[in-house]
């Protein structure tokens, strides 16, 4: 199981990591991306960084997804009870917020869990929201993202090949999740997640953790995407 994980990490090491601040316009329109977190190392010898999240997007939305994760549009902090908070648009941010609140045993976690992208929730739970509190948490998430997280990406083929239970994203997550050697550090923020699959795992995600690992066809696709990415970079 660990051989596929080691191979994947080593191939990604051929690419330059992207750290904040960066030029969003230099990113491609379509990609699979791999997040790294300060203090997290792989388990295959040495201290190479460990992938802590794999993500992709609907066609043409790579830049907007990265912008949402890092909150590059600061005007989105001007939300109110009639609008969703930034983390309602990014499950990655929402999961980091969950861990921060749970780490401090903050009862506001119950309200944080509500999805205010849904119209009915905006009305039903509006009075439970503490906008000042939410802005404080969002600011801390942004600080964490910009200070502690970097990413690599491979330019990718069509949406159907990337996404879903049969897509490459699924196999990549499965490969990382199944590896018995890559483990979170004692100080990994994810250990404070209220989500058991994150807290007891090693990735900032709960889907595709039991997916099959990458196969030879997947390896070929990854290598082709790597070469495309390197040429365009």
pLDDT tens sequence across 1-23:
589 999 999 999 999 999 999 99
Task: Please write down the long-range contacts of 72-77, taking CB distance under 8 Å and 24 or more positions apart.
Answer: 72/24, 77/135, 77/138, 77/139
Identify the CA nearest to 151 among candidates 4, 14, 37, 9.
37
pLDDT for 84 equals 92
Residue 158 pLDDT class (50, 70, 90 cuts)? low
pLDDT for 189 equals 98
In angstroms, rounded to a whole number, what is the distance separating the alpha carbons of residues 22 and 102?
31
Identify the CA nearest to 49 among candidates 60, 57, 37, 58.
37
Residue 59 pLDDT class (50, 70, 90 cuts)? confident
Share of the chain above pLDDT 70, in %: 95
Give the pLDDT confidence of 188-197 residue by residue, as tens digits.
999 999 999 9
72 has pLDDT over 80: yes
Identify the CA nearest to 138 among candidates 86, 64, 92, 204.
86
Q: How far is CA 224 from CA 151, 219, 230, in A?
A: 19, 9, 10
Element (DSSP H or E) covering residue 177: helix 168-178
70 has pLDDT over 70: yes
SS (H, E, C) 91-111: HHHHHHHHHHHHHCCCCCHHH
In angstroms, rounded to a whole number, what is the distance separating the alpha carbons of residues 43 and 22?
29
- The residue-averaged pLDDT of 39-62 equals 92
User: Token pair for residue 37?
Assistant: 């977190």
Dihedral sign computed on CA atoms, order 182, 187, 188, 192: positive
25 has pLDDT over 60: yes
* Whole-structure pTM value: 0.94
């Amino acid at each position: 199981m660990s051989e596929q994980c080691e191979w994947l990490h080593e191939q990604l090491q051929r690419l330059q990591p992207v750290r904040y601040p960066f030029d969003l316009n230099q990113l491609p329109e379509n990609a699979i991306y791999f997040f790294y977190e300060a203090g997290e190392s792989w388990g295959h010898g040495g201290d190479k960084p460990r992938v802590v999240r794999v993500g992709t997007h609907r066609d043409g939305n790579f830049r907007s997804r990265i912008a949402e994760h890092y909150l590059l549009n600061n005007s989105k902090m001007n939300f109110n009870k009639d609008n969703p908070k930034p983390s309602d648009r990014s499950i990655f941010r929402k999961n980091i917020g969950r861990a921060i609140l749970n780490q401090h045993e903050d009862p506001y976690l119950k309200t944080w869990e509500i999805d205010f992208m849904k119209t009915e929730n905006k009305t039903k739970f509006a009075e439970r929201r503490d906008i000042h509190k939410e802005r404080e948490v969002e600011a801390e998430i942004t600080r964490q993202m910009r200070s502690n997280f970097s990413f690599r990406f491979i330019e990718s083929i069509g949406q159907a090949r990337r996404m879903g239970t049969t897509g490459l994203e699924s196999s990549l997550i499965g490969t990382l999740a199944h590896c018995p050697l890559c483990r979170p550090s004692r100080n990994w923020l994810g250990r404070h997640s209220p989500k058991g699959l994150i807290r007891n795992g090693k990735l900032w995600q709960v889907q595709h953790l039991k997916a099959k690992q990458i196969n030879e066809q997947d390896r070929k696709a990854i290598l082709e995407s790597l070469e495309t990415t390197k040429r365009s970079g």
